[in-house]
Structure formats: structure tokens, C-alpha cells
Amino acid sequence: MSDIQLDPSVIVLKLPPWDINGWSSQERRSVYRNWALRYAQTRNFTVAMHYFDKCTHDMDNNKTFAALCMRSKFNREIAQPQEALEDSKKAATIASGSALVNLQIADCMISTGLRTTS
């Protein structure tokens, strides 16, 4: 057997494009959110949930509440109203005055059968 010398500068690792290009966490979250929505539309729920989890993992409060609302809506669509309510409550801690968040909480409460007393 011959001794083969490899130059480490020639070895190319198989990396995803966002690791090669150095995308910011905001850009990666946007990609994950779009993929999650696309997989949800094609009814590939396991993969969709995987990408919803990835886009909400890095908690950048400015944008994460919208992703949490999207995942909440997705959870209601796949008949998981309790998880949807948890996501809506997390979104409310980030953006408490948001009409979108309040609508998601109301929808989740209706889905779970919870009532508020006034």
C-alpha cells in the first residue's frame, strides 16, 4: 500500500449553505420558518414541527413571537391545542400588546374549551 499524503487545505467538508456563507441567526430562522410553513402545507407534519422548533430555538424576542404564533396555529391544525396554548403564552411574554398574540390565545382557549370569567 502506498502512503498517500493529503493536504488539509484541499479537504472539503459537506456543510449546509448557511454554515459556508455565514448567515446570521435571523436569516437562518427565516429559512427555517419558511421551510416549516412549506412542509405544513404539504402535510409533512413531523418535518414541519422540526423546522418550527429550529426557528424558535434561538430566542430573538423581536421576531420569535411571530414564529411562536405560527407554530401555535400549526399545533391547533394538527389537533394539539394544549401545545398551541403554551406557544401563545410564550409569545405573550415577548409581545404582550400584540393583536396577533391575543388572537392566538383566544383561538387556543376556544380550541381547548377554556373559558375566562369576566
pLDDT, tens digit (0-9, with 9 covering 90-100), for 7-55: 666 666 677 666 666 777 778 888 888 999 999 999 999 999 999 888 8
61, 70, 79, 81: which is closest to 32 by C-alpha? 70
Where does 23-112 sit in CATH, by number?
A: 1.25.40.10
pLDDT of residue 26: 78
pLDDT at 63 over 90: no
What is the rounded average pLDDT of the residues 83-99? 85
55, 68, 54: which is closest to 96 by C-alpha? 68
Average pLDDT, the chain: 80
CA of residue 55 relative to chain centroid, distance: 3
Host H or E run for residue 55: helix 45-57
pLDDT of residue 43: 92
In the chain, what percentage of residues exceed pLDDT 90? 14
**Distance, CA of 40 to CA of 44 (rounded, Å):** 6
pLDDT of residue 17: 67
Biggest CA–CA distance in the chain, Å, is 83
pLDDT of residue 60: 61
Looking at per-residue confidence, does 20 or 67 come out higher? Answer: 67
Question: For 55, how many CA atoms within 13 A lie in the half-sphere containing its CB?
Answer: 28
pLDDT at 116 over 60: no
